[in-house]
Structure 1
Amino acid sequence: MSFKDLQLNKPLLRAIAETGYDNPTLVQEKTIPFVLDKKDVICSAQTGTGKTAAFALPILQLLYDKQEGSKKGKKIRAVIVSPTRELAAQIQENFKTYAKNTNLTSTVIYGGTSIEPQKDILKKGVDILIATPGRLLDLHKQDCINLDYVETLVLDEADLMLDMGFIDDVKKIERLCPEGKQILLFSATIPFKVEQLANTILKTPERVEVTPTSSAAKNVSQVLYYVPKKDKIELCLHLLRNTIKGNILIFRRTKFGVDKLEKTLLKNDFKVETIHGDKAQNLRQDALKKFKNGYVNILIATDVAARGIDINELDAVINFDLPNIPETYVHRIGRTGRAGNFGNAYALCSADEKAYIKSIQQLINVQIPVEEEHPFPLDPKAKPIRHTSKKTGSKHKKGRKSEASKKKKKRWY
């Protein structure tokens, strides 16, 4: 099937041809006709499947076909809500690319940057608004955003949006848009709470499922290292010096972990950048730019910061900390081995993460090969470190009072 078969108009087909794509991906092939038919859609597809174009192209087409005179000023007719700033910025890039032969305009708004320039753009009027939930509601409260004319509302990465606690914001945004709007919900996974949200706000949606979550990236060779927790940093250094080369993305569970690993790698003369939720937006973008342009070859990130980031030419992913949600592992390793290239995924597993590996292997239906030849092997009998022990701890549990203070206390009877 070609893009022409999807009934897209000439300006869009020209823009698609200029990007070098000939044929739609599976998610685009299935989703675009439903969107053009003005149907509500719930779509489960992972990043890297081309889902941004699956909603961007038909939305541009619908808006292009029904343009109003510019005298009235442009009204926001499509809203795309995205959980992270990086993802929002990336969606905006896509809209700009595909809309370049039309006079449709889009803008992106998110927190962490100055609000005034965003207000100025909104005053002039745009057709398409891409936003993170907090900043959107903030600007709506300040009367800078009018959602009365919205025809299509897209909720992208819905599972991540709910994980980040945006459920109430999302519902509020949905209520601020007109009754008869079309809603498109995209999510990498469809856990119960996403299903619940869809049931509340979508009207008889069409379902599109592309690549069930369990299909771990086919072009990625996976290796597992069992290692004591205290030796993980040493093993990571050992692998970076001897085994893992090229552009590398390392995942850690916490911001503190990201910073700690960065310090160690810098001390050992590696070129490193980091992204996590506490970093100012401009610093996150700078870090990403340096990584993409080859100034540094290692990027350390938390999941939230890395979701949806488009990084081509990634040679390896290291799971420094294993995720407790098996689907997250699939997302992480899916960052490498894209577009027909081959990639490598390395997992460092300590005793207390063995249960995570078990559920990951069940999900992907693959026994990940274990590499035993390394300097920091984990004793197979090693038990997870329990931090609470009955014997230790304060001997004055209840009131935490010392014996002396108990004796001093005068009784009232």
Structure 2
Amino acid sequence: MKFEEYSISLEIKQNLEKLGFKRPTDIQFKAIPSILKGEDVLAIAQTGTGKTAAFAIPILSILQEMKHSPRSYEGLKCIVMVPTRELAIQITEVFQKLGQGTGIETLCLFGGVEQAPQIAKIESGIDILISTPGRMFDLIYQKHLKITGVEILVLDEADHMLDLGFIKDIQDVKKFLPKYHQTLFFSATINEQIKKVAYSLVKNPIRIQLSPKDPVSKNITHSVAFVEMDDKRFFLERVINENPESKIIVFVRTKVRAERVKLAMERVGIASETIHGDKEQQDRLTVLNKFREGEVKILIATDVSARGIDIANVDYVVNYDLPDVPENYVHRVGRTGRGTHKGLAVSFCSTEEKPILAEIEGFMEKAIRVLEIDKNEYTETIDFSKDTTTTNYDLKALLLEAEKMEEKRKKGKKKKK
């Protein structure tokens, strides 16, 4: 089936054609008809499968038809709740590209920036709001934002929202909405807790679950290399040098770790950028744009940023540190192999991280292929490094340092108050 055969507006069809979208992905094929019918949807699909367009296309079509019907409406009609600012921005871009010429107004709302321009946009009239919970509730309680007329609620990356403790915010939003409204629940992973919450938020939903036994996209070749913690920087240097034209995202466990890895790469002449929660919003956007445009090819990120990085043609994901939560492995490696593109993911696993690796393999219900490195190759990787420093990067010391920095930051915040 092609997009031109769907019961969606001509403008949206033309925008899809301009963007090169001819046929729907699996999640789009299964979700769009149900959303157009006004049904609640509970969709579990791998990251990079086209989830955003799966709800953006039908929502734009529904609202455009409503707006131009004899019973025209005024005010906000759709809210898309997301866990991170970067994700909010990227979803907004999708809505704006697909919605050109439809007359549908979309606003991206998040904290960390001046609220006056956002309020002005709300007052001028919006149809769709893509927002993180914090700023949205700020404006609701300041009475700048009314959501009582909303007819469609989308919860995107819902599993991550629950991890971040947004369940009460989601439940509070539902209280503001009309009794009869449509709820769309999209998540890359599902467990018993998420399933329980999901079914408490939707009514008789159409359940869509793609590749439930393998949460990692088939487009990704993933492997693990057993590398000790102090030696990881040498192997990262090697991966980067062996793939000089590749876009690579490197995931680390902490903000301090991200900056230290960046410095380690600088010592061997490799340019990189970091993205994590301590960076100002504008700095984060600048970094993402530089990476998107290829100005910098190495991006070092923490898990907080894993969901907000939706950049085409990422060739490699390197798990410099294994994630504490098995589900985060899926979201990390999902930054590559998106759509029809092939991707590679390699994880560095130290001796102390082997239990975490076992948890990840248990979650995926399959073993990750091991990259065999013999002793000579291991030694040569270190010996041929351009890094001549003798600093010992001890994990426990780094984590202790990170904890101290976090304590200082919290004390600093308390003093300001």
TM-score range, shorter chain: 0.7 to 0.9
Aligned-pair identity in percent equals 39
| 1:375 aligned counterpart, secondary structure | helix
Query: Pairwise mapping of residues 155-166 of structure 1 onto structure 2 (< 5 A)?
Result: 155-166=155-166
- Map of 1:401 onto structure 2: none
1:131-153 Cα deviation digits (max 9, x unpaired): 10001001111111111110001
CA distance in 1, matches of 2:21, 2:69: 32
CA distance in 2, matches of 1:243, 1:103: 45
1:329-379 Cα deviation digits (max 9, x unpaired): 2332232233433332221101111122223334252441222133259xx
Structure 2 unmatched ranges of 5 or more: 381-394, 398-417
- Map of 1:293 onto structure 2: 293
Aligned AA for 1:368? R
Aligned AA for 1:138? D
Q: CA deviation at 1:27?
A: 0.6
2:19 is equivalent to residue 19 of structure 1: yes
| 1:29 aligned counterpart, secondary structure | helix
Q: Residues 242 and 58 from structure 1, CA distance in 2 versus in 1: closer, same or farther, beyond 3 angstroms?
A: closer
CA distance in 1, matches of 2:106, 2:264: 42
Give the count of matched residue pairs. Answer: 381
Q: Residues 138 and 386 from structure 1, CA distance in 2 versus in 1: closer, same or farther, beyond 3 angstroms?
A: closer
1:216, 1:364 within 8 Å by CA — same for their partners in 2? Answer: no
CA distance in 2, matches of 1:197, 1:113: 31
Moved more, 270-279 or 138-147: 270-279
1:235, 1:376 within 8 Å by CA — same for their partners in 2? Answer: no
- Map of 1:75 onto structure 2: 75
CA distance in 1, matches of 2:339, 2:186: 21
1:358-413 Cα deviation digits (max 9, x unpaired): 23334252441222133259xxxxxxx999xxxxxxxxxxxxxxxxxxxxxxxxxx
1:43-96 Cα deviation digits (max 9, x unpaired): 1112211111111111111111111699x9840000111111111011111111
1:311, 1:335 within 8 Å by CA — same for their partners in 2? Answer: yes
2:147 is equivalent to residue 147 of structure 1: yes
Query: Pairwise mapping of residues 325-340 of structure 1 onto structure 2 (< 5 A)?
Result: 325-340=325-340
Query: Pairwise mapping of residues 235-274 of structure 1 onto structure 2 (< 5 A)?
Result: 235-242=235-242, 246-274=246-274
Moved more, 315-324 or 363-372: 363-372
2:159, 2:190 within 8 Å by CA — same for their partners in 1? Answer: yes
Q: CA deviation at 1:116?
A: 0.9
- Map of 1:116 onto structure 2: 116
CA distance in 1, matches of 2:145, 2:249: 37
CA distance in 1, matches of 2:132, 2:213: 25
CA distance in 1, matches of 2:203, 2:321: 40
CA distance in 2, matches of 1:94, 1:15: 11
CA distance in 2, matches of 1:78, 1:61: 12
1:243-279 Cα deviation digits (max 9, x unpaired): 6751110001111111111122123221111111221
Q: Residues 5 and 347 from structure 1, CA distance in 2 versus in 1: closer, same or farther, beyond 3 angstroms?
A: same
| 1:224 aligned counterpart, secondary structure | strand
TM-score with structure 2 setting the length: 0.86
2:77, 2:128 within 8 Å by CA — same for their partners in 1? Answer: yes
- Map of 2:372 onto structure 1: 371
Query: Pairwise mapping of residues 274-289 of structure 1 onto structure 2 (< 5 A)?
Result: 274-289=274-289
Q: CA deviation at 1:326?
A: 2.8
Q: CA deviation at 1:308?
A: 4.0
| 1:39 aligned counterpart, secondary structure | coil
Moved more, 133-142 or 202-211: 202-211
- Which structure is larger by alpha-carbon Rg, 1 or 2? 1
2:223, 2:368 within 8 Å by CA — same for their partners in 1? Answer: no
Q: Residues 4 and 240 from structure 1, CA distance in 2 versus in 1: closer, same or farther, beyond 3 angstroms?
A: closer
- Map of 1:175 onto structure 2: 175
CA distance in 2, matches of 1:56, 1:277: 28
- Map of 2:306 onto structure 1: 306
CA distance in 2, matches of 1:223, 1:310: 22
2:188, 2:215 within 8 Å by CA — same for their partners in 1? Answer: no
Q: Please provide the CA RMSD for this pair.
A: 2.4
Q: Residues 124 and 369 from structure 1, CA distance in 2 versus in 1: closer, same or farther, beyond 3 angstroms?
A: same
1:156-182 Cα deviation digits (max 9, x unpaired): 100001111211111111211111111
CA distance in 1, matches of 2:201, 2:249: 37
| 2:196 aligned counterpart, secondary structure | helix
CA distance in 1, matches of 2:37, 2:340: 32
Q: Residues 346 and 175 from structure 1, CA distance in 2 versus in 1: closer, same or farther, beyond 3 angstroms?
A: same
Q: Residues 331 and 285 from structure 1, CA distance in 2 versus in 1: closer, same or farther, beyond 3 angstroms?
A: same
- Map of 1:323 onto structure 2: 323
Q: CA deviation at 1:294?
A: 1.4
CA distance in 2, matches of 1:7, 1:371: 52
